Structure 1
Amino acid sequence: MPWETTTTMEQKIEFICEWRTGKYTITELCKSFGISRPTAYKLIDRFENQGYEGLKEQSRAPGKHPNATDDKIIKSILKLKEKHKLLGAKKIRILLFKEFTKEQIPSVVTVHTLFLTQHLVMKYGALTIKESF
């Protein structure tokens, strides 16, 4: 007979079902399920606010990166690149000094990365030369 395996979601649902019966204290449930009291209260709070959907695993990634380049600057960079198609990241960055302060302007690498993500430049080594002997 194989061992019974349960997923994390099944254990969370079982915890909530046991909690809703009112037969056990939070401390007893925490010992039974092997979780901490803060985790138990977090599960209960999510269940009360969002229902069973709140028990699903949630992303831990931050919503916005604190050092992200401002959208206004990105639009300006792309506008300059469209106007000056042959200029690279270094020269486009120098042109930004007319509109923005030194602290606002991103590094050359950031400008080049933006060009890469927008497919405005090619990666080094993207073109390969076949030699025939």
Structure 2
Amino acid sequence: MPWNVKDTMSLRQEFVSLAAAQDLPFSELCRRFGISRQTGYKWIERHKEQGVQGLADQSRRPHHSPMRSPQRVVDIVLELRRQYGWGGRKIERRLCDLGHRNVPAPATITEILRRHGMIQPHESALRQHWQRFEHEHPNSLWQMDFKGEFRTLESGRCMPLTIAV
């Protein structure tokens, strides 16, 4: 016996047609399809406005970004990168030194550079300054650290040593 396979669009079309028939209470219909009532009303409204095309997934990308950096700041950031080859932290510091107000954070400046193709992904990977202490096999790496010494109450000395396995 073959599986009863239905794609999302056919399920949404079926939902809208059953809702139009009004044979079941709307809450029960939504429960059977595993959606909230709010989602059910959304599909019905989209079907009324746009027809079958309205049942397709739509982009969730915002229509505008109110917190986006002003274009003049982006232009200055790009020009400093072209002139000196600096990264986000140095450009942020230079903008502050030049007296600019509302300077973006270094991470935002780095993202501006990346968005405009001025930072290549392979270059970023080469500049990673940390390395995890993970190895393929247990006990293949031991790390020890001497923490200095201090006096104890009995006029002795304690020299703590930590070992990470």
Normalising to structure 2: TM-score of the pair? 0.56
Per the TM alignment, residue 14 of structure 1 is displaced from its structure 2 partner at its CA by 0.9
- Which is bigger in relative contact order (C-alpha 8 A, separation at least 6)? 1
Moved more, 19-28 or 48-57: 19-28
Partner of 2:163: none
Contact 2:15 2:33 in 1 (8 A): yes
Q: CA deviation at 1:63?
A: 4.6
* 1:10 to 1:115, Cα distance in 2 relative to 1, 3 A: same
1:91-106 aligned within 5 A: 91-97=90-96, 98=98, 100-101=100-101, 104-106=102-104
Report how many residues are paired. 122
Matches of 1:28 and 1:115, distance apart in 2: 52
Change (3 A) 1:28 1:94: closer
Structure 2 unaligned blocks of 5 or more: 128-165
Contact in 1 for aligned 2:26/2:37 (Cα 8 Å): yes
Structure 1 residues 81 and 33, CA gap change in structure 2 (3 angstroms): closer
Paired residue for 2:152?
Answer: none
- Higher radius of gyration, 1 or 2: 2
User: After TM superposition, where is structure 1 displaced by more than 6 Å over at least 4 residues in a row?
Assistant: none
Q: How much is the aligned-residue C-alpha RMSD, in angstroms? A: 3.0
Trace 1:1-133 onto structure 2 (pairs within 5 A): 1-63=1-63, 67-82=67-82, 85-89=83-87, 90-97=89-96, 98=98, 100-101=100-101, 104-120=102-118, 123=123, 125=126
- Give the corresponding residue for 1:131: none
Identity %: 30
113 and 37 in structure 1: CA distance in 2 versus 1, 3 angstrom threshold? closer
Q: Which has the higher helix share?
A: 1
Q: CA deviation at 1:121?
A: 5.1
Q: Which structure's residues are more often strand, by fraction?
A: 2
Aligned equivalents of 2:20, 2:4: Cα separation in 1:
24
How much does 1:109 deviate?
Answer: 3.6
Q: What TM-score does the superposition give when structure 1 sets the normalisation length?
A: 0.66
Q: Which amino acid aligns with 1:94?
A: R
